[in-house]
Amino acid sequence: MTPENAPVLIFLCPFVVALLLPVLRFDKRLAYYGAVVALAASAGLSYWGLTLVQNGTAISHFMGGWLAPYGIEWYLDSLSALMAFLVTSIALIVVFATGETVEREIGTVRIPYYTIALLHLSGLLGMILTRDFFNFFVFLEVASLTAYALVATGDNVRGNMASLRYLFIGTLGASFYLLGVGYLYAGTGTLNMTDMAARLPGFIGSRTAFLGILFIFLGLAVKMGLFPFHGWLPDSYAHASDSASALLAPLTTKVIIYSFIRIFFSVFQVSVIEQFSLDTVLLVVGAIAVIAGSFLAFVQTNFKRMLAYSTISHIGLIMLGIGLLEKTAFLGAVLHILNQAVMKAGLFLIAAAAAHRHGIRDILDFTRLRARMPWTLAAFILIALSMIGAPPLFGFFSKWYILLGAIKTGQHWVAVLVVGSSLLTALYFFRVLERIFFTSPPVSETVAEAPWRLLACTGLISIALFVFGLLAPKIFTWGLITLIPKGL
Amino acid sequence: MTPKFIGLFNYTAALILVLFGIYALITQKNLIRKIIGMVILQTGTILFYISLAAKHGAAIPILIDQGHHAVIDPQHYANPLPHALMLTAIVVGVSTLGVALSLIASIFKHYGTLEEDEILIKMESSK
C-alpha cells in the first residue's frame, strides 16, 4: 500500500469485484454483499487518498512503469480525491440502501445488475483519476455503455426506448469528444494532460486548436446534459428502474462536470477560456438551463421526471458558477457539485421508497406519504429545504458562494439569477409539499415505512446535510488553498 | 498523385462520413437506419485518426536487428499510436453497436415495428 498505488487501488476494488461476480453465481445474495464490500473498500481507500493529498500535493501513478508522456498516467490531487470519495461514498450508500428495491425490480438477474453497476462506477472512477485524453475516452464509454444498460433495467419497454435515445445522443457526444482529442493530438503530438498543458500555448492560436476545443466542449456538454443537449436526460431517469436511477442521477452528470473542470481549467487553462469567450457561452447557456429546467420541472406530474429537470437546472447553476471565472464562485460551483450529488441521491432514494411498497410515482399521489411514511416525509422536507437553499443546510452555502462571486465580478444579473433559481426550486418543491399537506388522502391509511436500509440511508443523507452545512465554510477555506486551478 | 493531396482527400472523406452519419442519426425515422448512421459517424472518426498517421512511402515501425548501431529515424516510419488508439475505438464501437441492437430487438419484440413515429404513437396509446 504505497501512496503511488492509491489512485489505482481506488479503481480496482469495484472493477475486480465486477469481474468476479459473474463467476460466483451460486448465491444471488453474494452479489449484493460483494458490491457493498467492494464500494466500502473503495470509499475507505479514497478517504485515505484524500488524507494523502489534503495539503494540495498530488500523487502520480504510471501504468506499467511507463513514464508520462508516453505511458498512461493516473493522478490523484485534492479535486480528484474529493470527487473519488464523493462517488464511492454516494454509490456505497445507494447500493446499500437499494437492496430490497433491486430484489423487487431486478429479480433473478441481480448478478448482471450488480456487475453492470460496479462497472459503471469503475468507469466513473477511471474518468476521475486518469490523466490521459484517450484513456479518459475509454472510461467515458465504459461508464456510458453501462449507463445505457442501467437505464434499460426499467420494468417496461419505455426504459429500452429511453436507453436507445440516450445511446444515440451519447455516441454522438463521445464521437465529438474523440474528434476533438484527434485535433489536439494532431497539433501537439501528445495525449497526456500535463504534457498537453505545457505544449498548448505555442499552438493555441491555430484553427486546429479551436476546432479541437470546440469538439471537446460539445462532446462533454452532450454527455453532461447541458441545456440544449439535455434531451436524453429526463426520459432516462424517469424510465430507469428506481435502483438504477438512484445510482445514475447523482453521479454520472456530476463526474462529467468534474471532467469538464479538469480539462478546461487545468489543461486549457483560464487564458484559453477567455480567448474563445467560453465564459460568456457558459453564463448564457447556464442561465437558460436554470430558468428552462425549473419551469419544466414545475409542470411535471411524475416525481422522478421532475427531479430530472431539476438536475438540468442545477447543472446550469454549476455552469454559472464556473463561467464567472472567479475563485469564490468556482468553489461555490464545486460545492454545488458535492451537495447536488448528496441531495439527488437522497431524493431518488425517496422516490424509490415511495414506489417500493405503495407504488407512488405521481406527485398527485404524494399525499398518501403523510399517513404512510412519516419518516421518509420528514427526510424529504429536509432535503427539499436544502435544495431550495435554506441557510443552515448544505445547499445554502454553494449558492451563497456563487452569489458572492457574482457580486465580486460585477455580474449582478448572475446574482439575481442565483437567487431566482432558489425561488424557482422552491416553486416546484412547494408544489409537491402543498399536495402532501393540503389534500387529504383518498382512504385512511396506516403507517408502512420503507425497508429499514432505505430509511436509514435517507435519514443519514438528511443528517449529512446538516453536518456538511456546518463544515461548508471549512471546506471552502480548505478549497481556497488546494482546489483553485492555476490562473484563476 | 502528391502525398499532400492524399492527406486532404482523406480528411475530406472523414468529414463527409462524420457529417453524413450525424445527418442520418438525426433525420432517419427507422431505428436500424439510425444505427447505420451512428456506425458511419464512428467510422468517420476512425478514418480521421488513421489519416493522421498516414505517410507516403513509410515503413512499418518495427525495429529490425541491424547490429548494435541501428539508428532509428522517426521520419521513415508511420506513427503507430493512432492505429493502436483506433483499435480500442473500434472495440468501443462494436460494444455500442451490440448494446443498441439488443435494445432494438427488445423494442421490436414489444411493438412489432422499428419506425420511430409508429413506436411513439403506440407508446402514447398505451399510457
DSSP A331-345: HHHHHHHHHHHHHHH
Q: Does residue B121 surpass a pLDDT of 90? A: no
Residues from chain A contacting residue B85 (CB–CB below 8 Å)? 134
Q: Does residue A293 surpass a pLDDT of 70? A: yes
DSSP state, A267? I
What integer pLDDT is reported at residue A392 of this predicted model? Answer: 82
What sign does the CA torsion over A366, A367, A371, A374 have?
positive
Q: Does residue A40 surpass a pLDDT of 70? A: yes
**CA atoms of A297 and A126, how far apart (whole Å):** 32
Phi, psi of A407 (to 5 degrees): -70, -40
Q: Does residue A96 surpass a pLDDT of 60? A: yes
Out of B31, B88, B103, the one facing A152 most closely (by C-beta) is: B103
B3-57+77-125 CATH pick, 3.40.50.970, 1.10.287.3510, 3.40.50.450, 2.70.70.10 = 1.10.287.3510
Residue of A nearest to B126 (CA): A158
Phi, psi of A62 (to 5 degrees): -105, 120
Residues from chain A contacting residue B82 (CB–CB below 8 Å)? 185
Q: Which of A400, A378, A405 has its CA nearest to residue A388? A: A400
What integer pLDDT is reported at residue B67 of this predicted model? Answer: 62
* Block residue for cell numbers 458562494: A401
The continuous run of DSSP H or E covering A61 comes out as: strand A59-62
Confidence of residue B124 (pLDDT cuts 50, 70, 90): confident
How far from the centroid of its chain's Cα atoms is residue A94's Cα? 13
How do the domains of chain A map onto residue ranges? 329-488
Q: Does residue A59 surpass a pLDDT of 70? A: yes
Our CA dihedral for B35, B38, B40, B41, rounded to 10 degrees, sits at 170
CB contact under 8 A, B99 and A148: yes
Contact pairs from chain A to chain B, CB under 8 Å: 71
Out of A137, A163, A182, the one facing B103 most closely (by C-beta) is: A163
What is the nearest CA distance from B42 to chain A, expressed in angstroms? 6
What integer pLDDT is reported at residue A486 of this predicted model? Answer: 78
**Distance between start and end Cα atoms, chain B:** 62
Which whole number is the average pLDDT over A343-352? 92
What is the nearest CA distance from B123 to chain A, expressed in angstroms? 8
Q: Which of A385, A466, A399, A400 has its CA nearest to residue A430? A: A385
Out of A138, A168, A185, the one facing B92 most closely (by C-beta) is: A138
How far from the centroid of its chain's Cα atoms is residue B63's Cα? 30
User: A432 CB contacts (<8 Å, ≥6 apart)?
Assistant: A303, A306, A363, A366, A384
Given a contact cutoff of 8 angstroms between Cβ atoms, the answer to whether A197 and A265 are in contact is no
Residue type at A463? I
**Distance between start and end Cα atoms, chain A:** 35
* Block residue for cell numbers 494532431: A186
Our CA dihedral for A237, A240, A246, A248, rounded to 10 degrees, sits at -70
Residues facing A74 on adjacent strands: A61, A130
How do the domains of chain B map onto residue ranges? 3-57+77-125
Out of A168, A174, A185, the one facing B34 most closely (by C-beta) is: A168
The continuous run of DSSP H or E covering A73 comes out as: strand A73-76
User: A185 CB contacts (<8 Å, ≥6 apart)?
Assistant: A133, A191, B52, B82
Which whole number is the average pLDDT over B121-126? 81
For A425-454, how does the pLDDT look when each residue is reduced to its tens digit (9 = 90+)?
A: 998 998 888 888 887 766 666 777 788 888
User: B8 CB contacts (<8 Å, ≥6 apart)?
Assistant: none
The interface predicted TM-score (ipTM) is 0.91
CB contact under 8 A, A186 and B92: no
Given a contact cutoff of 8 angstroms between Cβ atoms, the answer to whether A360 and A369 are in contact is yes
Residues of B with CB under 8 A from a CB of A: 18, 21-22, 25, 31, 34, 38, 41-42, 45, 48-49, 52, 82, 85, 88-89, 92, 95-96, 99-100, 103-104, 106-107, 110-111, 119, 123
Q: Which of B32, B40, B23, B18 has its CA nearest to residue A177? A: B18
**CA atoms of A63 and A8, how far apart (whole Å):** 9
Which whole number is the average pLDDT over A42-54? 91
For A193-227, how does the pLDDT look when each residue is reduced to its tens digit (9 = 90+)?
A: 989 888 888 888 888 889 999 999 999 999 998 88
Residue of B nearest to A161 (CA): B107
R_g (Cα) of chain A, nearest Å: 21
Residues of A with CB under 8 A from a CB of B: 134, 137-138, 141, 145, 148-149, 152, 157-158, 160-161, 163-164, 167-168, 171-172, 174-175, 178-179, 182, 185-186
A247-251, A363-367, A466-470: which range is least confident on average?
A363-367
What is the nearest CA distance from A145 to chain B, expressed in angstroms? 7
A180-189, A306-315, A444-453, B84-93: which range is least confident on average?
A444-453
What integer pLDDT is reported at residue B4 of this predicted model? Answer: 58
CB contact under 8 A, A141 and B96: yes
For A61-92, how does the pLDDT look when each residue is reduced to its tens digit (9 = 90+)?
A: 898 888 878 889 999 989 999 999 999 999 99
CB contact under 8 A, B95 and A141: yes
Residues from chain B contacting residue A178 (CB–CB below 8 Å)? 45, 49, 89
Residue with the bigger pLDDT between B122 and A125: it is A125
Out of A161, A163, A168, the one facing B119 most closely (by C-beta) is: A161
What is the nearest CA distance from A228 to chain B, expressed in angstroms? 15
Confidence of residue B6 (pLDDT cuts 50, 70, 90): low
A142-146, A177-181, A352-356: which range is least confident on average?
A352-356
Q: Which of A41, A149, A129, A19 has its CA nearest to residue A92? A: A41
What integer pLDDT is reported at residue B1 of this predicted model? Answer: 45
CB contact under 8 A, B25 and A168: yes
Confidence of residue A487 (pLDDT cuts 50, 70, 90): confident
Q: DSSP readout, A385-411?
A: HHHHT-TTSHHHHHHHHHHHHHHHTT-
A104-118, A234-248, A427-441, B68-82: which range is least confident on average?
B68-82
Residue A344, all three cell numbers: 439527488
Residues from chain B contacting residue A175 (CB–CB below 8 Å)? 18, 21, 41-42, 45
What integer pLDDT is reported at residue A177 of this predicted model? Answer: 95
- Number of Cβ atoms within 10 Å of the Cβ of B27: 10
What integer pLDDT is reported at residue A312 of this predicted model? Answer: 93
Q: Which of B22, B68, B16 has its CA nearest to residue B47? A: B16
For A261-286, how does the pLDDT look when each residue is reduced to its tens digit (9 = 90+)?
A: 999 998 888 888 888 888 899 999 99
Residue A91, all three cell numbers: 454509490
What integer pLDDT is reported at residue A176 of this predicted model? Answer: 94
CB contact under 8 A, B104 and A164: yes
What integer pLDDT is reported at residue A150 of this predicted model? Answer: 92
Confidence of residue A482 (pLDDT cuts 50, 70, 90): confident
The continuous run of DSSP H or E covering A75 comes out as: strand A73-76
